[in-house]
Amino acid sequence: MAAAQTKPRFAYFEGQIVPFEKATVSVMTHALNYGTAVFGGLRGYWNSEEEQLYLFRPLDHFERFLQSASLLRMTLPHTPETLTEVLRQLIQAEGYQTNCYVRPLAYKSSEMIGVKLHGVDDEITMFSIPFGSYVDDKEDGMHVGFSAWRRVDDNAIPARGKIAGSYVNSALIKSDALLAGYDEALVLTQDGHLSESSAANLFIVRRGQLITPAVNGDVLEGITRRTVIELAREELGLTVVERAIDRTEVYVADEMFMCGTGVQIAAVTQVEHRNVGTGKMGEVTRALSSVFYDVVTGRNPKYRHFLSPVYDKEPAQS
């Protein structure tokens, strides 16, 4: 994923949109010491024909964000709708006319020593960076290996929450994969089934069926995953099965891909130096990517309800 690491000009911080430099916290902040924060990650897609920036499924992203927050006993004076409005104002201030990535973060803000969740203050911040246009330069797809780490177990840290501290698990997985020469890793659950990559959901294709680990398989309930399931059924007429996937099923799969806000849809073409299918991006993955891209950029009217426009504009004349 090629992310332009430009700094934002603004941030939403302590209830207002402020210059980015003003959005700072103390070293004693609870979240910094204990990982007691939750976050989200969503994208805005610039549609040049309409000169509009579309946020992709912001209500669903913010719903999961608030659920993650409630897992950490946070009480936040927000709804998915109010957070979407904050985000619109933030991006309007930035004035982006390009794809962008948004990071909402809710954190335990008290300056205190003491590991617990209740009786600690909570805050929300949000910022956005331009992300440039996404170019899939990997027709070859991703080469991955099985991580020696296991995916965080739901009985240790809530796996369906996007909890900052649990991303130590993802960071260990990702660095070890990259340093071993892979692009990413496949991560197994404690009981040895496939869960996710370091930060994306996984699908395999076998005999024309799309198979993905179920939401009770220690996975993050990905918004892209949910979108892919719907598009596969509705637009490609595929059967989608949510069930546990064995390690060796991956070796005999016809296709495999990972999906998430960051990677969007990315083919996995080698696992542990074995080809998946032909070793090239497969037809199902290619078809899904194409449908997905039209949906997120607003070029498929049927799925307009997934998009929220950032800029106030006159309705187009018909």
Among 145, 161, 217, 260, contact with ligand PMP (rule: CB under 6 A): 260
> According to CB under 6 A, which one of 223, 229, 232, 256 is a site residue for ligand PMP?
223
Of 8 and 260, nearer to ligand PMP (C-beta) is 260
Ranges within 9-68 binding ligand PMP (CB under 6 A): 41
Burial of 141-157, coded b for 16+ CB within 10 Å and e otherwise, reads bbbbbbbebbbbebeeb
Considering the complex, what minimum distance in angstroms separates the CB of residue 136 from ligand PMP? 17
Q: Is 204 in the site for ligand PMP (CB under 6 A)?
A: no
Least distance between ligand PMP and beta carbon 225 (Å): 6
Q: Note the helical H segments in the chain.
A: 30-34, 58-71, 80-94, 167-179, 223-234, 247-251, 283-296
Binding segment (CB under 6 A) for ligand PMP, from list 87-95, 134-142, 220-228, 274-282: 220-228
Choose one: 73-81, 129-137, 215-223, 305-313; the region binding ligand PMP (CB under 6 A). 215-223
Residue length, the chain? 318
8 A C-beta contact, residue 302 and residue 83: no
194, 200, 232, 295: which one contacts ligand PMP (CB under 6 A)?
200
DSSP labels, 259-292: EETTTEEEEEEEETTEESTTSS--HHHHHHHHHH
Q: How far is the CB of 200 from ligand PMP (least distance, A)?
A: 5
Closer CB to ligand PMP, residue 53 or residue 202? Answer: 202
Catalytic positions: 162
Tell me: does residue 199 bind ligand PMP (CB under 6 A): yes
Considering the complex, what minimum distance in angstroms separates the CB of residue 86 from ligand PMP? 19
Q: Which two tokens stand for residue 7?
A: 């700094």
Q: Which stretch binds ligand PMP (CB under 6 A): 176-184, 195-203, 239-247, 288-296?
A: 195-203
Find the radius of gyration of the CA atoms of the chain. Answer: 20
Window of 83-91, 105-113, 219-227, 294-302 that interacts with ligand PMP by CB under 6 A: 219-227
Q: CA 39 → CA 22, 133, 165, 285, distances in Å?
A: 20, 23, 10, 28
Is residue 239 within 8 Å of residue 210, measured between CB atoms? Answer: yes
Other CB atoms within 10 Å distance of the CB of residue 191: 10
173, amino acid identity? I
Residues of this chain that interact with ligand PMP (CB under 6 A) are 41, 170, 196, 199-201, 220, 222-225, 260-261
